[in-house]
Structure 1
Amino acid sequence: MTKVFLTGASGFIGAHILNDLLNHGHTVVVAVRSATRGQQILNRHDRDAANKRVSFVVVEDFVKQGAFNHVLQTNAPFDAVIHTASPYFYNPYDPENEILRPAVQGTIGILRSVTEYAPTVKRLVITSSFAAMINFNRHPATYSESVWNPMTYEDALRPSVTYPASKKLAEEAAWDFMEKEKPHFSLTTFCPPLVFGPVIHHLESLRDINTSNTRIRDFIQGKYKDAIPPSNLYLWVDVRDLAHAHIRALTATGAENERFFVTAGHYDNKQIVDIIREEYPHLSEVFPPKDLSGDLPKDVYQYDNSKSVNVLGLTYRTLRESVRDTVASLLKIKE
């Protein structure tokens, strides 16, 4: 088994990755921005913490130059690194300094730190996003790993598109680094679309839920009694499948220096509402009317997830299973 350095373990995706790592027998050191977040993680994994299979280090500023140098040295040796942490502001006040630079510099920073201070690392995995692939102006017929968001740095200075552009620029910078520096480790990136699934990390309230799951939260809270809101994006994946993809990337032959598009397929908000109505009939009174139509276009863009299936051996959960389990987890969290 391997020793893994993980960032973002206090978040929605990172928490599931940590679970999967521990379930597969790995030892994990997680980087968190505060001791409070670190302790919350240990409390959730008390047995593994007691056995020293999970521990945390505080890195207050992930973007600061050399932020990971010391922790990689003092907690060595590591076999792999998984980087999931990323800045996110829905309406940034300062797009360049709040999102663009942190996204790119944070990604390059950990690549450089591993290159210089973690000589035993063999594989590095980064969570990118479908945002790094999407073309808002003209969707391709089929989305696959070969497709890239066409936005430039100048485009990204517009607050409305800063986040998706930052994901493209950060991932692009990572691959440029690999090409120029040729480090001792391989790189694997993942580009998930909307990520649904049960919440297992610490939340103070449902107000703090991850962006993709907000639509499910809003449905069960009765925020859309009269209409179904636009779906906007028609591809999704369950967080547990995404987490498992990260774990497989640490050992799977053929995952080295590859980009993966991880998606379970199409959906729309109408399908989500119908599933919740059927699985949780006691909530039906807060839902939109049954006779409303969905908005999944007949000519919606297609997807090719065959690489994730063939190389990583992924078997994707159904939308019903994902939505059902998501709602079950949300009903346990205070408003």
Structure 2
Amino acid sequence: MSFDADPNKVIPFAVDFAVNALQAAYKEASVKRFIFTSSSAAAVVSSADTPPANITEDSWTDYIVDAAWADPPYTQERAMVTYAASKNQAEKAVWKYHKENRQERPDLIVNTVLPNFNFGRSLVREKQGYPSSSGLPRSLFKGEVTDFHKGLPPQYFIDVDDSGRLHVAAAILPNLEDQRIFGFAGRFNWDTVLDIFRKNVPEKKFPDNFSGGEDGNEIVPRGKAEQLLRDLGRPGWTSLEESILANIEGLY
């Protein structure tokens, strides 16, 4: 994952990485399923400047790709746009290659998983700390409101364990072929995260609320993804509160 703003340094690499992995799967007869971790950014990017929409399996953020390839300068403010475009283009490249070559491997099943913002428990906190997006609840819990917090619009989340389970479902469940699996458990903003902190750690002082509203997009396939979790024996999505509390384990 790269947050370089220059699309020339990010997008071709992401596409090549994805296609090379799929080509390797095509060449190995023992590989029967190929699961590609895409991103919610391939289908939707939450923004106050973009009208809410019904997001389906056919939704793509092609306007983000156009923005990423706009003329330089490639200032750091464009880094997230370039990142989102790389996710779009990498997943599209996977589906394009599979469509054009599937006659060579009709037995090979391809599925992609599109998780939104991941929260939850670190696998080995003593060694990992709070990596990637799990670092944001940690810093907020410690009273640090960063520019990234302020710049992140309300959107959807998913617990990291549910992300893993959706990948397992994509790999083992029968009749799950050529699917885009949408890992969107529910909506959140930082005010709801702060409210969870206050409810569960009432003795601690936290920053004032600063991030209201909610993501207006409706993710049509999220119900199908939740059913996959139930097919694996889970009750459904992990709640935001459960995920956030798991995320900040070790801090109180």
TM-score bracket, shorter-length normalisation: 0.7 to 0.9
Is it true that 1:288 corresponds to 2:210 in the alignment?
A: no
Closer, same or farther in 2 for the Cα pair 1:266/1:202, shift >3 Å?
closer
Residue by residue over 1:32-84, the C-alpha shift from the partner in whole angstroms, topping out at 9 and shown as x without a partner, is: xxxxxxxxxxxxxxxxxxxxxxxxxxxxxxxxxxxxxxxxxxxxxxxxxxxxx
Question: 2:218: which partner in 1?
Answer: 302
Aligned partner letter, 2:179: E
Distance in structure 2 (CA, Å) of the matches to 1:293 and 1:94: 31
Closer, same or farther in 2 for the Cα pair 1:175/1:318, shift >3 Å?
same
Aligned partner letter, 2:216: V
Closer, same or farther in 2 for the Cα pair 1:236/1:93, shift >3 Å?
closer
Question: 1:56: which partner in 2?
Answer: none
Shift in Å at residue 255 of structure 1? 1.6
Closer, same or farther in 2 for the Cα pair 1:162/1:106, shift >3 Å?
same
Shift in Å at residue 94 of structure 1? 3.9
The answer to which structure, 1 or 2, has the higher relative contact order (CA under 8 A, 6+ apart) is 2
Q: Which of the numbers 67, 91, 95 marks the counterpart of 1:171?
A: 91
Question: 1:200: which partner in 2?
Answer: 123
Is it true that 1:157 corresponds to 2:73 in the alignment?
A: no
Distance in structure 2 (CA, Å) of the matches to 1:255 and 1:139: 32
Map residues 254-293 of structure 1 onto 2, 5 A cutoff.
254-282=175-203, 284-285=204-205, 287-289=206-208, 292=209
Map residues 64-103 of structure 1 onto 2, 5 A cutoff.
87-89=1-3, 92=4, 94-97=6-9, 99-103=10-14
Distance in structure 2 (CA, Å) of the matches to 1:303 and 1:264: 10
Closer, same or farther in 2 for the Cα pair 1:240/1:152, shift >3 Å?
closer
Query: 1:270·1:294 contact (CA, 8 Å) conserved in 2?
Result: yes
Closer, same or farther in 2 for the Cα pair 1:129/1:170, shift >3 Å?
same
Is it true that 1:113 corresponds to 2:24 in the alignment?
A: yes
Residue by residue over 1:125-150, the C-alpha shift from the partner in whole angstroms, topping out at 9 and shown as x without a partner, is: 01100110115563442223221112
Map residues 53-72 of structure 1 onto 2, 5 A cutoff.
none
Larger helix share, 1 or 2: 2
Distance in structure 1 (CA, Å) of the matches to 2:224 and 2:128: 37
Question: 2:32: which partner in 1?
Answer: 122
Q: What RMSD in Å do the two structures reach over aligned CA positions?
A: 2.6
Question: 2:101: which partner in 1?
Answer: 181
Distance in structure 1 (CA, Å) of the matches to 2:216 and 2:65: 28
Question: 1:214: which partner in 2?
Answer: 135
Residue by residue over 1:16-40, the C-alpha shift from the partner in whole angstroms, topping out at 9 and shown as x without a partner, is: xxxxxxxxxxxxxxxxxxxxxxxxx
Q: Percent identity at matched positions?
A: 25
Shift in Å at residue 203 of structure 1? 7.2
- Which structure: larger Rg? 1
Distance in structure 2 (CA, Å) of the matches to 1:104 and 1:166: 7
Residue by residue over 1:148-206, the C-alpha shift from the partner in whole angstroms, topping out at 9 and shown as x without a partner, is: 11237553235511100000000000000110010341111011111111111477675
Question: Runs ≥4 in structure 1, deviation > 4 angstroms?
Answer: 201-206
Unaligned runs of 5+ in 2: none
Equivalenced residues, count: 232
Unaligned runs of 5+ in 1: 1-86
Query: 1:125·1:187 contact (CA, 8 Å) conserved in 2?
Result: yes
